Amino acid sequence: MTAIYSIFGRISETIEKLAAIHRLLPWILAFALLLPLPQILSALFNDYYIYLANKICIFILLSVGLNIVKGFCGQVTVGHVGLYAIGAVSSALISLHFGWSFWLAFPIGILAAGLAGIVVGLPSVRLEGAYLALATLGLGESVRIMIAVTPLFGSSTGLLSIPAPTIGSFTFDSYTNYYYLVLAAAMIGIYLSFSILRSATGRAFMAVREDTVAAAVHGVNVTKYKLLAFVISALYAGAAGGLFAHMPPGYIHHNNFTIIEMVTLLLMIVLGGIGHIWGGIIGAIIVTIIYDQTLEFYFYQPLLFGLTMVLIVIFMPRGIGGMIDRYLATKKFIASQEEKSNAAS
Amino acid sequence: MSIFNKNFIAAGMAGVFVAGMAASAMSADIRVGITMRMISENGQRYGQMVMDEIDMINESGGINGNMLKATLMNDECKSDKGVANAIKLINQQKVHILIGSTCSSVSLPIVDITEKAGVPQIIPHSTNDKITKKGSAWVFRVPVSGRYYAGVNAKYVGENIGKKIAYLCAADAASQNDCDAMQSQMKSQHGADPAYVAQVQEKEVDFRTHMQKIKSAGVDGIMIAALAETMARALTQSYEAGIPASVRRIGSSSASNSPVPSIAGDAAKGVFFAAAYAAADSRPIARLFNEMVKKRYGVNSPDHDFSQAYDLVRITEIALKNADLKLDDENLAADRTAIRDAIANVKDYNGLASGPISFCAAATPQCRDGNRTAVLIAYTKGGKDYKTEVLARVTMPIDFGL
Amino acid sequence: MDFDFSSLFAFLLFGVTIGVVYGIVALGISLIYSGLDIVHFAHGEIYMFGAFFGLVFSHTMGFPYPVALLLAMVCAAVLGMGIERVFYRRLTKGGGGYTVAGMGMIICGFGMSIVLMNIAFLIWGAAAEPFPVDLGMPFQLGDITLPKSYALTAVVAVLLMAALHYFLKKTKLGLAVRAVAANKDIAYLMGINVPMMISLIFGLACGIAAAAGVLIGPMQSVQVEMGYLMLLKAFAAAVVGGFGSLPGAIAGGIVVGIAENLGAAYISPNHKDIYAFLLLILVLMIKPSGLFGIVARVKA
């Protein structure tokens, strides 16, 4: 255990050194290191893990977005899958019905989700806590039902043959190719989330989370920041949705967007660490891998997941991210105490 | 550090062991991947039956001396899980043939996956027409496609019941297809428009308002296309609403699943539907099958999901026996192609299905929807010990509904 | 134009009869909310467990229906109290009581609902079980048939509400419960056994939800997934009627039931479930305190 933590410590030191050279350097390096992952996975295991890597990237986008509005801004939203669905269906419809390329349909899908994010965010202005949870739950479910009963949105047959993106003659129709797309999207998403959360906006979010009255007293426009958090998370969800829709085999159905998916997302950020900047990423990776490795126990899987969620909320409320933080902080403290005692003697 | 250090020896042995395992994993077994909806009333039994039949093939010597190695996975009727299972089975287990899936919304995307990967896919239960209309050369369908059912139903309804039909369509891919197909057949065969159409959620529990409106519309028949439990509730509530038995209730093919009569009880009496197999079938092969299912899985009067799973295993067995398989790593693609071609050569397979099943090589629905015979079945008694009778048996023309 | 009044009456009747079921579950949700300031997201599964308990007591063990109803309520109450004691209580150990546990409670509730649903699945399987109860011939109102179960449910709903009202307003124990609901710290100081009152509130709410499950069994059959859709409708009912108000819960349920049936009848049958959600969102946006509710105050 200590070994794993010390690795984290070393990594964060290296990253800081690189970032001192140029802000973006660690990111470019990480992207470059992750690029050959499909080839590595294919050599070590098999191509199935490339598909899993794709899924993880999409889940990362979803969890990071959810963490922004839920973990950092403290708004209890349980309708995130609805925004995911809107992004997916919009992008799919535009490329299926208008024949526009992915590069047009995808941004429009994101925008549609962002607009919906305003709608989902409006209740947050007036409601808090459980009331907000109920409102967003209702909205999310309504989106799914609308998809299920409207033939244009696929109703219960689903939307088929959603075209894969192309650049010139290069088509993103294999999981290896698509991986490059979702990896880029995920890295951009993570980078943006770090920028936002470490900026004044992020601090405003956290102020709103801690105490809206105190934040307002300090000049934070609570309404604006609440809505902003929702819209940002909606943009992430819309991006994830569009990427999901165009991923081979290009099929979406309304039961991809049920409450079960919402609870899985919740589990991801709770496990990874609500309000921790790495929370969404850690959670997405761990939950997807554990889910995959326990597939043969499908009988007990949901029970395991629900129990994990309950136990983590009770015993480890800061999630894995919180545990790492605590360890690093303890190490720093011990180190600083040793320095003091060394300096004294 | 001496090379005789025990850590090195242990690592070396582990390495040899792993290499040995890897090598033996790809030996001369025929690998079968199965993805189905396991979490439903009988879902586990269908899966179990497929596995049991495969075990029995192995016990009697396998296929040309090769054993079948089957992996059964659950997809919960969710397309993303089905896709993940298919990719895993194709790439990790490196299966030679994929059996899947139960739900049409899961089979639809898997068709693209198997087509791209070049793996033969044989479908146990999905009825949505689009599955074979996609034009994949790798997919084969054992159940009767929804378009045939609609044709048979519409003909019978139009001639015996009337033209004013109300529709309750549940939000799953098979029921959606059955509803749409029936409406379009009623229109094309009899020029009839639906008297009332309502979409309901998959697990809807309260149909009374729909029933009241249907009663006011004065219809000749009500078609309920839904999964079994939902259909049972709708049937019960249709009688509670006071719609007389003279208004016939028509079920989609999932009406053949046992929860329908056992939950609906008396309300199931008189309900008729098109299916691929009737437990009331008097042929000796059907009698034997019914007894076997009762003895092994405790189910009375098996529905067509049982019979289709069974026929699927038999057809797969025939194809595998006829295919020239090398069963080594270099020839995986060639073996898969050989199996595909062998299935395409299956002609006039006569099993539990109510008519012959024949495939051919072209990537068209005509070739890939092997089973064209629907039986029109009515429940004569509801409850846990339900009884059925066969109203008609029709083999549809091969181009029907296209 | 000849408006079909008998159909309108039918739709209203359907709305009321299903609405009281929503109302009974909402009663439990409102009780938990007014007592403990939390929205119990696993309440739908308690309702489902109640239905299964009722089925087991009545069909497997052969108790008469009313006895099965009471036994199911007791079992569900014990189950609920157990869950509260083992899991939810720990969430508040960090200090601040139930209110501050806020998001944690919501997430724990979701997790608990998954756990409960899957435990039920492991015990009883995925199949839907019919729950036939012989109450005699249904009522005939004009040309509408109303099975007696619906009437029984409405009667029980009113009885439960009245009993709860009497308990809270007229008994000493009820006074203690109300004190705990108002302010836990002061209740402690007054010598009230607050943890036991919290357990009692939870137990009552769960027992009530179980009653709804047993009552609805004959009308809809019993299945492990029945909790989730009921939960959303019950939330809508609780919100519309006003969180924390007991008559509001029943009234809210009836409003939701009528809204969804009239919507399905006259606007569009496909969107039946959306009407309940629309009502929920509208009420939350315009008058979050609902029809009868009091403005939510932060209670320690």
Per-residue model confidence as pLDDT tens digits over B328-384 = 888 999 999 999 999 999 999 999 999 999 999 999 999 999 999 999 999 999 888
What pLDDT, on the 0 to 100 scale, is given for residue B16? 47
Q: Is the pLDDT of residue B27 over 60?
A: no
Write the pLDDT tens digit of every residue in C145-190.
788 888 889 899 889 989 988 998 889 888 888 888 888 888 888 8
Residue B111 or residue C5, greater confidence: B111
Q: In which band, very low, low, confident or very high, does the pLDDT at C298 lie, cut at 50, 70 and 90?
A: very low
A309, closest residue in chain C (CA to CA): C111
Tokens of A62: 């979803």
Question: Which residues in chain C have their CB less than 8 angstroms from residue A156's CB?
Answer: none
Interfacial residues of A (vs B; Cβ cutoff 8 Å): 45-48, 51-52, 55, 145, 148-149, 155-158, 160-161, 173, 175, 248-256, 292, 295-296, 298-299
What pLDDT, on the 0 to 100 scale, is given for residue C93? 62
The C-alpha of B175 sits at a distance from chain A's nearest C-alpha, in angstroms, of 8
Please state which of the ranges A26-30, B4-8, B301-305, C215-219 shows the lowest mean pLDDT.
B4-8
Cα dihedral B205/A141/C224/C164 (nearest 10): -80
The rounded distance, in Å, linking the Cα atoms of A305 and B138 is: 36
What pLDDT, on the 0 to 100 scale, is given for residue B9? 54
The rounded distance, in Å, linking the Cα atoms of A145 and C260 is: 14
Q: Is the pLDDT of residue B23 over 70?
A: no
Q: Is the pLDDT of residue C206 over 90?
A: yes
Mutation test of the interface with chain A: which of B39, B48, B74, B332, choosing the one with the most A Cβ atoms within 10 A? Answer: B74
- The backbone region for A88, taken as left when phi is positive above 0, alpha when psi lies in -120 to 50, beta otherwise, is alpha
Mutation test of the interface with chain A: which of B35, B87, B227, choosing the one with the most A Cβ atoms within 10 A? Answer: B87
The rounded distance, in Å, linking the Cα atoms of C224 and C226 is: 6
pTM summary value: 0.90
Q: Is the pLDDT of residue C1 over 50?
A: no
Write the pLDDT tens digit of every residue in C72-83.
999 999 999 999
Interfacial residues of A (vs C; Cβ cutoff 8 Å): 70, 74, 76, 78, 122-123, 126-127, 129-131, 133-135, 137-139, 141-142, 145-146, 149, 259, 263, 266-267, 270, 274, 299-300, 302-303, 305-310, 313-315, 317
Instruction: Please check whether residue C22 is in contact with residue C238, taking contact to mean a CB–CB distance below 8 angstroms.
Output: no
Percent of chain A with pLDDT over 90: 48
Q: Do C126 and B39 touch (CB under 8 A)?
A: yes
Q: Is B402 in a helix, a strand, or coil?
A: coil
C274, closest residue in chain B (CA to CA): B201
The C-alpha of C132 sits at a distance from chain B's nearest C-alpha, in angstroms, of 9
Instruction: Please check whether residue B303 is in contact with residue B257, taking contact to mean a CB–CB distance below 8 angstroms.
Output: yes
Q: Is B340 in a helix, a strand, or coil?
A: helix
Rg over CA atoms, chain C: 19
The rounded distance, in Å, linking the Cα atoms of A278 and A244 is: 22
Please state which of the ranges A241-250, B378-387, C141-150 shows the lowest mean pLDDT.
C141-150
What pLDDT, on the 0 to 100 scale, is given for residue B7? 55
Q: Is the pLDDT of residue C296 over 50?
A: no
Q: Is the pLDDT of residue B199 over 70?
A: yes
Q: Do A134 and C239 touch (CB under 8 A)?
A: yes
Residue C12 or residue C100, greater confidence: C12
Please give the domain boundaries of chain A with CATH numbers for all domains: 35-335 (1.10.3470)
The rounded distance, in Å, linking the Cα atoms of A29 and A19 is: 11
Q: What is the mean pLDDT of residues C58-69?
A: 90
The C-alpha of B80 sits at a distance from chain A's nearest C-alpha, in angstroms, of 7
Write the pLDDT tens digit of every residue in B164-175.
999 999 988 889
Of A295, A197, A182, A175, the residue nearest A241 (C-alpha): A182
Q: What is the mean pLDDT of residues B39-66?
A: 91
Write the pLDDT tens digit of every residue in A134-185.
889 889 999 999 999 898 998 888 999 999 998 888 888 889 999 999 999 9
What pLDDT, on the 0 to 100 scale, is given for residue A44? 87
Mutation test of the interface with chain B: which of A58, A141, A157, choosing the one with the most B Cβ atoms within 10 A? Answer: A157
Q: Dump the DSSP string for C177-237.
A: HHHHHH-HHHHHHTT--HHHHHHHHHHHHHHHHHHHHHHHHHHH-B-TTHHHHHHHHHHHH
The C-alpha of A149 sits at a distance from chain B's nearest C-alpha, in angstroms, of 6
Q: Does domain C17-133+141-286 have CATH number 1.10.3470?
A: yes
Report the Cα–Cα distance between both ends of chain A, in Å, rounded.
Answer: 32
What pLDDT, on the 0 to 100 scale, is given for residue B296? 93
Average pLDDT score, chain B: 89
Question: Which residues in chain C have their CB less than 8 angstroms from residue A317's CB?
Answer: 94, 104
Q: Do C281 and A131 touch (CB under 8 A)?
A: no
C262 φ, ψ to 5°? -65, -40
Write the pLDDT tens digit of every residue in A10-63.
877 887 887 777 778 888 888 888 988 888 888 888 899 999 999 999 999 999
Of B307, B283, B265, the residue nearest B125 (C-alpha): B307
Q: How many residues would you count in chain A? A: 345
Instruction: Please check whether residue B65 is in contact with residue B51, taking contact to mean a CB–CB distance below 8 angstroms.
Output: no
Q: Distance between alpha carbon A278 and the CA centroid of its chain, in Å?
A: 10
Indicate the CATH number of B23-144+284-372 among 3.90.1300.10, 3.40.50.2300, 3.30.450.80, 3.40.630.10. Answer: 3.40.50.2300
C111, closest residue in chain A (CA to CA): A306
What pLDDT, on the 0 to 100 scale, is given for residue B1? 45
What pLDDT, on the 0 to 100 scale, is given for residue B273? 94
What pLDDT, on the 0 to 100 scale, is given for residue A288? 95
Question: Which residues in chain A have their CB less than 8 angstroms from residue B76's CB?
Answer: 298
Q: A103-112, A332-341, B198-207 — which one is most confidently predicted on average?
A: A103-112
Q: In which band, very low, low, confident or very high, does the pLDDT at C134 lie, cut at 50, 70 and 90?
A: confident
Write the pLDDT tens digit of every residue in A87-104.
999 999 999 999 899 999
Q: CA of C43: how far to CAs of A193, A284, B222, C50, C212, in Å?
A: 35, 28, 36, 11, 11
Question: Which residues in chain B have their CB less than 8 angstroms from residue C269's CB?
Answer: 198-199, 209-210, 213
Question: Which residues in chain B have their CB less than 8 angstroms from residue A296's CB?
Answer: 73
Q: Is the pLDDT of residue A129 over 80?
A: no
What pLDDT, on the 0 to 100 scale, is given for residue C297? 45
| Residue limits of CATH 3.40.50.2300 in chain B | 23-144+284-372, 147-280+375-395
Q: Which of the other chains make 3 or more beta carbon contacts under 8 angstroms with chain A?
A: B, C
Q: What is the mean pLDDT of residues C246-250?
A: 87
What pLDDT, on the 0 to 100 scale, is given for residue B26? 47
Q: Dump the DSSP string for A170-192.
A: EE--SHHHHHHHHHHHHHHHHHH
Q: In the CATH scheme, what is the code of domain B147-280+375-395? A: 3.40.50.2300
Q: Is the pLDDT of residue B17 over 70?
A: no
Q: Is the pLDDT of residue C96 over 70?
A: no
Place of tokens 């007791």: C74
B337-358: buried (b, 16+ CB within 10 Å) or exposed (e) per residue? bbbbbbbbebeebebbbbbbbb
- The structural domains of chain C, with segments of one domain joined by +, span 17-133+141-286
Write the pLDDT tens digit of every residue in B82-124.
999 999 999 999 999 999 899 999 999 999 999 999 999 999 9
What pLDDT, on the 0 to 100 scale, is given for residue A2? 65
What pLDDT, on the 0 to 100 scale, is given for residue B5? 53
What pLDDT, on the 0 to 100 scale, is given for residue B21? 45
What pLDDT, on the 0 to 100 scale, is given for residue A335? 85
Q: Is the pLDDT of residue A264 over 50?
A: yes
Q: What is the mean pLDDT of residues B283-307?
A: 92
The set of residues, in sequence order, having a beta carbon less than 8 Å from that of A179 and lying 6+ positions away, is: A37, A38, A50, A53, A54, A57
DSSP H helical segments within B298-389, as ranges?
Answer: 304-322, 332-344, 365-368
Q: Is the pLDDT of residue B212 over 80?
A: yes
Any chain A CB within 8 A of the CB of C38? yes
Q: In which band, very low, low, confident or very high, does the pLDDT at A208 lie, cut at 50, 70 and 90?
A: confident
Q: Do A129 and C277 touch (CB under 8 A)?
A: no
Nearest to C228 among A123, A259, A300 (CB): A259
What pLDDT, on the 0 to 100 scale, is given for residue A214? 86
The rounded distance, in Å, linking the Cα atoms of C251 and C272 is: 20
Q: At what angle do helices A48-67 and A80-97 cross, to 10 degrees?
A: 120
Nearest to A134 among C112, C280, C296 (CB): C280
